[in-house]
Every structure is written in C-alpha cells, then in structure tokens.
Structure 1
Amino acid sequence: MNDDELVYRRVFRAPRELVWRCLTDPTELAHFWGPRGMATPIDGIVVELHPGGRFETLMLGDHGSHRMVATFTEVVPPERLAWVESATGMHTTSTLNDLGDGSTEVLIHQRNVPAAMHSPEARAGFLTSLDKLEEHLAHLMQEELS
C-alpha cells in the first residue's frame, strides 16, 4: 500500500445482495452515508448505476456541508463498485465478498487519497459511517425476520 492509499475491511452479518442494495440505493444510502454527526438527505443523492454514471452525495452537519461528485468506473452487481471523485481524483473500489454463512466482507480500497483524509480524525469518522451501515443492516435484517 502506498502513502496515498487507504484500505478498510469490515464483515457485516448480512447477505451480499442486501449490502449491495444499501451501497447503491439512495433510499438506503440516506440512512448511513457519512460520519456520525452528518446526515445525507435522499434528495442530495444521485446514483446512476453504470460505468460513466454519476454518483453524488450531499452530507449536512452542524459544522457545514460536503458534496461528493463522482463518476462510476466499475459496476459489477453484487460484487464490486468503483468510482472516482472529480474534485480530488480519489478512486474508491468496494469489493463485496460472500463469506458463505450469510455474512459479507466489504473491502474498501481508496487510492489518490488527499492528505487530510489520512488524519486519525478523518479515518475515525469514516469508520463511524461503517458503524452506521452495520446498524442499518441489522435493522433491515430484523425487519425481514418480523
């Protein structure tokens, strides 16, 4: 791994198709996208799920807002999703691995990462978004059982 790369790995107790849906459906993204303390309203999300399609999010918080504008570079349902952000050139690839026991490993590889995103605070914030995804998946799994 180079100095301009970050890698995150998380195992979710949810089937791969459900994790994929959460990563690609604006209704689901609105529940967890962004670190704790930030909200991403559904009307601020654009997902054109094909290579060359737009991927945009608008995160709002007490300390301001952040808009991400990206272009999908790879869409392989339900296995891999990649995009490049226009403002920074950061490239993110999320790989979803079915672990065969109803769980899914998500491996997120980011390249050309801006220096500010390497700070401990930024990395911790990113991890809280994965925590929010985990909580949302648990909620969806509970709904399916009801």
Structure 2
Amino acid sequence: MTENLGELTITRELPAGPDAVFRAYVEPEQFVRFWGPVGTHVELDTVTIEPKVGGRYDSTMTIDATGDTFPLRSTITAFVPGELLVIREEGVGMSSSLAFKDLGDGRTEVVLHQTDVPEMFRGPEAEAGMNSSFDRLVEHLSAQR
C-alpha cells in the first residue's frame, strides 16, 4: 500500500475552445505533440486512446537525454466530450481529472485535479513538469489557429 497520498490541482487557460482542447487529449496524433514535460517525447505507436468510459488511455513517455521510458497504463473512468476526461492509472491508483470550461472568447480553462497522488508526483518538480506540458499544449493549440 502506498503511503502519504495527496492531491494536486493545476488550473490553466488555453488559447482554443473546449472542443479543440478536448480533441488534443483524445486524438493520438495531437496527444504526442504535447504530452509530458519539456525534454520528453511520446512515440505515436505507444499511444492507445479509446475515447469512452472503460476505454484505454495508454502511452509511453521517453526522456530525450537518457532514453529512459515511463509507461502510462490507465482506464478512462469518466468521459464527456468537450467537458470532462478522467483516467485512473493502473498499479499507482492515481486518478487524474481534466475539466474543460468554455471562457466564451475562444479560450478554455482547464482544471487538472489529481487524487491518490504519491508524494513523488506532488512536489514542485512534478508541478513544474506538468506546467511545462501545458506550455507545450499552448504552443500546439496556437499553431493550429
């Protein structure tokens, strides 16, 4: 049993409407353009996204400098297109919820809320990594315009 579990919440405004932002998370060809912090990448052939409750949400992140890999194996537990995506990671048990709110001006507020987060995934370094992934998403969405 993992000890010292907690929560993490990050809120970001993104330069696209909710449907476009949501598609970036569920279309593998877009997902690989931003998933993971700067200095990592995800190969398209490692991504399985089945956009439905009970569907797979799997990928493998690779650290560019070392080649070390980090597989994400998870199941979609809630799915409302353009509004909500929730996944639960196998093994770790961590749940990640992405809520998408239309700001009405071509922007979307995204709230990432994670529960049952092991301590190693909650510190300032982990939060900085997630924010750099959001920065990569901003770049991707801006290029789509």
Q: TM-score, normalised by structure 2?
A: 0.93
Q: Which residue of 2 aligns with 1:71?
A: 75
Instruction: Tell me by how many angstroms 1:114 deviates.
Output: 1.0
Instruction: Tell me by how many angstroms 1:46 deviates.
Output: 0.5
Q: 1:91-134, CA deviations, whole angstroms, 9 ceiling, x for partnerless residues?
A: 01100000111110000100000110112111111110000000
Q: Which residue of 1 aligns with 2:139?
A: 135
Deviates more, 1:116-125 or 1:32-41: 116-125
Report the Cα distance in structure 1 between the residues aligned to 2:98 and 2:20, rounded to whole angstroms: 14
User: Alignment partner of 1:5: what SS?
Assistant: strand
User: Alignment partner of 2:53: what SS?
Assistant: coil
Within 5 Å, give how 1:63-102 maps onto structure 2. 63=66, 64-102=68-106
Q: Which residue of 2 aligns with 1:117?
A: 121
Equivalent position amino acid for 2:57 in 1: F
Instruction: Tell me by how many angstroms 1:15 deviates.
Output: 1.1
Q: TM-score, normalised by structure 1?
A: 0.93
Q: Which residue of 2 aligns with 1:29?
A: 31
C-alpha RMSD over aligned residues: 1.2
Q: 1:57-91, CA deviations, whole angstroms, 9 ceiling, x for partnerless residues?
A: 10011231100000000010010000100020000
Percentage of matched positions with identical amino acids: 36
Q: Which residue of 1 aligns with 2:8?
A: 6
Match of residue 18, structure 1, among 10, 17, 20: 20
Gaps of 5+ in 2: none
Equivalent position amino acid for 2:77 in 1: T
User: Alignment partner of 2:12: what SS?
Assistant: strand
User: Alignment partner of 1:129: what SS?
Assistant: helix
Runs of 4+ in 1 over 6 A off after TM superposition: none
Gaps of 5+ in 1: 142-146
Instruction: Identify the structure with the greater helix proportion.
Output: 1
